[in-house]
């Protein structure tokens, strides 16, 4: 794809074939020290900070695209929208009835 961008279906074979979701190459941009359980709101007081490498990649899909319900990550994740309007929904399970946040 253009400038290293890739369609997510090329990386995840179970990804819906009709969903136009694209991902940029990933860059390492620094490190941060944080308690992962505080970061994910699983506890309020810091206990055991760990050092993490910060990696950045961008995602793109056209407006009104329902992308992909997923709730497992082998990493800590944060979302920021830099252009346009859109939304992010969070689910407890891979099931649309388990939605608990709609931003």
pLDDT digits (tens, 9 = 90+) for 4-48: 999 999 998 988 899 999 999 999 999 999 998 998 888 899 988
As a whole number, mean pLDDT of residues 63-87 equals 79
Domain boundaries, the chain: 2-102
| pLDDT given at position 42 | 87
Q: Answer yes or no: pTM beyond 0.75.
A: no
User: Confidence band (pLDDT; 50, 70, 90) for 1?
Assistant: low
Please calculate the CA angle 24-28-15 and round it to the nearest 5 degrees.
35
Work out the mean pLDDT of the chain and round it to a whole number: 88
């Amino acid at each position: 794809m253009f400038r290293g961008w890739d369609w997510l279906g090329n990386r995840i074979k179970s990804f819906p074939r009709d969903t136009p979701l694209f991902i940029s190459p990933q860059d390492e941009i620094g490190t941060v020290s944080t308690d992962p359980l505080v970061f994910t709101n699983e506890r309020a007081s810091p206990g055991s900070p760990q050092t993490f490498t910060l990696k950045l990649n961008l995602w793109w899909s056209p407006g009104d695209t329902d992308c992909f319900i997923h709730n497992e990550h082998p990493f800590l994740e944060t979302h920021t929208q830099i252009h346009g309007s859109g939304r992010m929904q969070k689910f407890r399970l891979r099931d649309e009835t388990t939605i608990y946040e709609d931003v």
